[in-house]
A and B are shown apart, each in its own frame.
Chain A
Amino acid sequence: MIAQGSKSSAADRAPAVAGGRESAALILLVVAVLVLATLYVANRALDAFNRELLPLMDREAEAVSSSIAATIERALALGIPADQLVEVDPFLDEFRRQLPSLGYVALLDGKGSLMHGVGPELPAFEAMLTAKRVLRPDLSLVQAQPDSDGDLGGRSISTSLDGIRDTAWPIVVPGQEPLVLHIGSSSRAYDAQITDVRWDIWIVLLVSVLATYEILIFLLARSAEAPMTLLGRAVDRVVAGDWTRTVAVIGSDESRQVLRTFNLAVRTVNEAFARLTWKAEEIAREGREAAERIGREIGALTERHRFAPGRLGRMTALPGAAMARTPLFIFVFAEQLPTSFMPLYAGSLPSSFTWLDPAVAIGLPLSAFVVAVAVATPLGGWWVGRIGSRNVFLLGALPAVLGHVLAGLASDLTMLIAARVIAAIGYALVTIACQHHFVQVANLGRQAGTLAVFVLAVVTGTICGMAIGAVVADRLGFTNTFMVAGGLVVVAALLAAWVLPADSDAVPARRAAEGGSAWLLALRAPRFLAIVILGAIPAKIALNGMVYYLAPLYLAQAEVTLPAIGRTIMMYSIGMLVAIRIGAWLADRRRLYLVPMALMGLLPAAGALLLPWQDPEVGMLIAVTALGIGHGLGSAPMLAAVPALCPGPDGRRQAALLLGFLRSAERVGSMLGPMIGAVLLASAGPAAAALWLGLIPGAAAILLALAGWLLPGRVLVPAMSGGGR
């Protein structure tokens, strides 16, 4: 009846994939269905689009030709001879520019030779003309039936040539030589749009898959994993002989059934023990010998087992890391929606900072956000210690929603900056609340999966948010995207309210490292300072300056579409995701700290150097991905290097202080990044700015490597073999 051992090990396994093979199979199945359905629908949609395209092009060409022909007819009707029409080419070109699909517009005389023509595909048309492949309307027929109402549609002839659809419109005015107007439509102009739509579909698919995965994880945890883990713990107790507890009945359906069954069993056993002790008392009254014997038997029983009939305690589920993961995922998702267009949006608002270069003014919302986060984080930490992570999450959701809504409604730059500051406060509070929750979970002995869960939720949310935010903004506009973000924060808050434990036994958060002692410590550790100044800060400068600030501006200036900007920026997170494991492996297994940290700076420099030789979208994609890979490689070794620098008995405390210092320093870099980018942009233009932003970490990395090499006799980070950990 009672399952043994296998369930107990589940309690220690990383809760990232709940419950083992069955859950994984379920998730795979759902995701497969989702992907197949989406691909099918997308394919059908694109087919329909292509089918509609040709008639649409014909209709557009007809509208344009009507206008052109009307004016030419008027000129001819006024008696202007056809060969004396003035400035025909600019006139034709004005119309051609209105439609991206028009490859050429040409006017032919009655004998079929070209009088005037404009458009990039004109040479191709002329070639077709010479090869006599272009159909012409039978002008004698048209002249015989003059249709003064100019219903050109009935008299035109279309030919499909290579990739171009030529439509010929006769222009016939009594008393004048007949002319023929040729319009060439090509679908090439639409190819770019179709490609964009395809990309958008892939992005939506990716985000849907990731979001579905997160939601499934959550549901499984709630309905199956949590109850089963609880059951496992309870069973462990029973195996150890403790029959004094029942379990809280949580989860859904079958899980509840199992837990109820367990409780029934426990109660039954306890009642049996109660009857046993009663009977024993009865027997004990009958005589001393009987009493002693019964006492011994019962004593033997209670040595190995404990019972508490009528006073059964209750076990509750421990807070699981999975519980906070989904609200955090949704929150980060919402937070990252505007990332791909924030500088563009800021640039579109009127700025009251007329004394500031516009490029620098655009960077202000980004820097203000970082500063506000830095200020609000210690406040959040203190608060969490007093009222618990759930309440701080909910409290933080309020400014986060307000910040997004205000940002969407912002009428000028100052209001946007204020909105971002408010959103930053919310962001800091929520992030601290989640961190605290995860720390609690880790404290209860499940450290292994916790960090992975936290990082994964944040990274997945970032990828999804960056990519889809651009698509949403492209379709619905900037303001609506902010509203969507606000709405998602509300969803995250509701979810958090539902699932986060209202911890009455709140573990007081560790007090933030005191600034003063951290500084002293840092200044006495030149190697650490080198890592901070030459590694961490340039990395953040590059991230905030290049990815958050410059990339959208650079790409928008090269007329790249908004969804493409989102996809490009997203590559940072993907690069990081891919490289982070490698970086962790390099640090743990190979004890390589300096090499990955140097790569963290060199890879972005390499990417930036390639920029001038590439077309803007591809070049920025390479640069951003290189940045992501570099950061992925370097971040784990950087974090691992700090404790390695603190051998000795006080190492743990020192390491904590230094890590806090490192984080603060990174914030400085995050704040400087947009400002440096803005100054570079204002003084040297986008291409040069991108180049320098990539070269800064590169130069720093070279200096770091030199420092590591030149410091007498020692490598930058001593190979650790135990130390103070």
Chain B
Amino acid sequence: MSRGLIGRRSLLVGGLTAGLAARRPARAQQRPWRIMMITWRGWEDACQGFADFFSERNVPVELVLRDAGQSPAMVTRHVAEAKETRPDLVYLWGTTTAMVALGPYDAVDPTIHLADEIPAVFNIVTEPVWNKIVPSLERPSRRATGTLYITAMAQQLATLATYRPFRSIGITYSPIEGNSRAVVELLGQEARRTGFELIDRPVPLDDAGKPIAAALPAKVAEIARAGAEWLYIAPDTFLNGNKLPLTQAALDAGLPSFTSTEPYILQAHALFGLVSRYYAVGQFTAFKAEQILNGVEPASIPVEPLARFSLIVNVQTAKRLEFYPPLSLLRFAETV
């Protein structure tokens, strides 16, 4: 009997130890993970969230930073370097970065794209399916997955209507950005489906084929004159670089503006936003990255948004426009 007891006791102790051990990070690592982070326009909140996730959980990672400086050619060069140095994971920031680095899922060129050699995770990407980065959100089916940071267009517009029901929306954007063209097309679909007017005024291009920043205020005024009730601000790098003149122009024209990404409302004068905080998105992306590093196949990790989005109202803008949110919205919205 006593032998049995001893046997059981050591089993118990062994179990406890195993249980305690299990609470630490799953893999007893000998060396830190190496993650190459290819960013589009420098280090910002999502990258910070990504990095902080690992440091808060005491997971040793070595982050190799490679900024593309808003140049697709630089992205391709970083991809080549990645294939050379073989990090454990590649992190991609931004729609263009992801499109250039991964290539369309049905036309991968192994010479310039990552081509499934190294697993990748992407964030701050608009419309990954429309942009042919993954065939489906539930099953990416390639060695890359990521997170969404914008909610579906129908939900955005429904939220917009809770502020004020509208009959026409205006949008200005850089016509050479894939992001923006995707958004305009989706807006157009919703306009036809629910019956509002879309006033579509892209920014003119100069001789070099680049959008003219100085033309922005005039375009916004033009949209206001055409009878738009709201200005929709798309996630567009050009617009983001000019967010202050853009939103100021909207203010001057007495046009309320709505955005689906945080910079325009947190760092500029947009009126109303349904946004995901970039920092939180970065953390969520790191969560997915950790799964990949621990051996889960990216092809089976779904591309998802955060569960909750923030409703943000810029009260100063509201006061200047004399266009206040309804009380029921004020119950839930954050104010800046």
Contacts and interface: CB of A to CB of B under 8 A. Distances in A.
A86 B315 contact: no
B266 interface: no
B325 A86 contact: yes
B324 A94 contact: no
Interface in A58-96: 71-72, 74-75, 78-80, 84-88, 90-91, 94
A349 B23 CA distance: 45
Contacts of B327: 71-72, 75, 85-88, 91
Nearest to A87: B326
A24 to B, nearest CB: 68
Contacts of A87: 326-328
A85 B330 CA distance: 11
Nearest to B325: A86
Contacts, number: 34
Nearest to A72: B327
Nearest to A91: B327
A669 to B, nearest CB: 54
Given A78-B315, A79-B315, A79-B319, A71 B331 contact: yes
B324 A80 contact: yes
Contacts of B315: 78-80
Contacts of B322: 84
B69 to A, nearest CB: 40
A238 to B, nearest CB: 78
B330 A75 contact: yes
B310 interface: no
A79 B328 CA distance: 17
B318 interface: yes
Contacts of A84: 322, 324
Nearest to A95: B328
B330 A74 contact: yes
B326 A80 contact: no
Contacts of B291: none
Q: Contact size class for A?
A: 10 to 19
Nearest to A78: B315
Nearest to A84: B324
A72 B315 CA distance: 15
B14 to A, nearest CB: 44
A86 B331 contact: no
B294 interface: no
B335 interface: yes
Contacts of A94: 328
A523 to B, nearest CB: 67
A86 B319 contact: no
Contacts of A79: 315, 319
Contacts of B325: 86
A98 to B, nearest CB: 13
Contacts of A80: 315, 318-319, 324
Nearest to A80: B324
Contact of A91 (B319, B324, B328, B335): B328
A377 B324 CA distance: 75
A90 B326 contact: yes
Contacts of B330: 71, 74-75
A86 B163 CA distance: 10
Contacts of A72: 327
A643 B101 CA distance: 98
B321 to A, nearest CB: 11
Contacts of B319: 79-80
Nearest to B162: A87
Interface string B128-157: 000000000000000000000000000000
7 contacts: A78-B315, A78-B335, A84-B324, A86-B327, A88-B327, A91-B327, A94-B328
Given A84-B324, A88-B327, A91-B328, 5 more contacts: A75-B327, A84-B322, A86-B326, A90-B326, A94-B328
Interface of B: 315, 318-319, 322, 324-328, 330-331, 335
In order of increasing CB-CB distance, the 8 nearest A-B pairs are A87-B326, A91-B327, A86-B326, A78-B315, A91-B328, A86-B324, A71-B331, A80-B324
